[in-house]
Structure 1
Amino acid sequence: MSTPPQPSPQPSPQPDQPGQPPAVPPQPTAYPYPSPQSPGPQNFYAQPTVIGQPGQPQPGNPYAQPPQYGPLPVPPAGGGGGGGAGKAVLWAVVGAVVASAAWAAGVLVLGGRSGSADLRGYQAPANLCSSGDYSSFKDEYPQSDSSPGHNALKDKALDESYCSLGLKKTGSSYADAYLNLEVDLHKKTDPAPEFTATWKNYGDSHTGYDVESVKGIGDEAYLVSQDTTNGSTSGSRNATLAVRDGWMTYTMSYSAYLSSYDEDKNPPKLTDVDDWLKSDTKTTLGQLKN
């Protein structure tokens, strides 16, 4: 009688080899969506993707493993095994939440709408030479400029109007001094920090200028002046009054050069010019709100 064939002995499970990391169930990826590729023909011998904990063999088909949708593996409390990948996924999710919250806070604090600009009712006219006031200079310079220069800009981020004109004493054929006016309406960005940094510290970045803080005009104003004549027959006298009121900025600048004067046409003192700039600026800002 022949001996019936004996079943082949099954290898007994081997313990983890020393120095080898323990087996770790597959970790989920950060991409939560299925592959866009269409599945091919069914292969009963293929192992499908396992999501979560490994499942039990499907009855009737010992080679196929059904997809499992159990709870995702939780990274171990310690730093061993595959916990690093799980922590990376966790921190990626936390980082996304924090970034979204920071973005939302930024929109609320800084303002993401064009309507948030604090323009205080100011307008930038097409011709600032005809809308601005410089009447305080008329006694010193009675002759009007027949062709002052002006331009204007209208944009979703900035409205701007500029005027440049020559000032003439009686009998002068050419300009004895110059006056520049400019108004800017900042519709997207608050100009306060840069305005303060520029004009308050003007004396630090430009040698020989005096800076005076002016009260009673707008939210803040600075008078910047320089006199290089020193009793000589050359040099210049310059003064600029810069004002910020909300998100509107305005400058009015005066400049005169001794080389352009006859002996009987010396420029006025800067103390007088400073007073004229303050008076005319107040009037101009009031007119730009109408």
Structure 2
Amino acid sequence: MDVLKKGWFSELTELLPGRCFSMEVEQILHQEKSKYQDILVLKTKSHGNVLVLDGMIQCTEFDEFAYQEMISFLPLCSHPKPQRVLIVGGGDGGVAREVSKHPLVETIDQVEIDDKVVEVSKKYLPFMAIGFDSPKLNLHIADGFKFMKEHEAYYDVIITDSSDPIGPAVSLFQKSYFELMKKALRPGGIVCSQADTFWGHLKNASSMRRHCKDVFLKAAYATSFVSTYPAGQIGYALGSLNENTDFKNPVFQLTDQLRKEMKLRYYTTEIHRAAFALPAFVVDAIEEDDKTC
């Protein structure tokens, strides 16, 4: 079946068997195959400009802020002094845009393996790629594994904004990756990684949280709503080297005035707390996972 048929894009992939999400397309803005993946940018009728990698929707102009804010501020607001931050992936610039807003962040390193994603995002997704203009940011086109090996005990927070577990992102969903991140953290450091949806991918979501539990002193799984992701939900696996970290109660809390000054549209301190309240079947799966390990 053609994913671009009769003016519609359909997210048809083996990662989502038996279902798909479709959007009406006004124009194909860009299409190419980079060294690492297929890159597609669409202008859609309902969701603005959309970035698609290897057939999977990565972000849309309509709702990207929900994901970018949560994957950034869940870990940043859980750390008492997140001065040095590493972003792995995030070639669209959205996470860099959000991380740079945090007043305690001084330096951001971002390592993205595919320079074509950065190039395309700057041209077609300027509302996200504005993150690359931050004076706090140092962008590195390189392999994240190699980069972290060269920066042991250096970062306070590491955020992994990966695409789905296909192509170049597969290695970012494995335990060895979390062990590598641990070595790149300073004492008390925190990590946060995209951790799939629990609707139909509960095993993947649970395993990501387990990787954190196996490697870090504290671990948690949080959730948020993003309408264009599978089932409208996406998860985040968090780990901390500080055994006293309480992910459910952020140490950095936003006043309503500060939130507005930071131009946040999804994240609030209340949303932070609520993100760790999970459905019963997810809680049961996590508990069962802990018993078998």
TM-score (norm 1): 0.28
More helix by share: 2
TM-score (norm 2): 0.28
More strand by share: 2
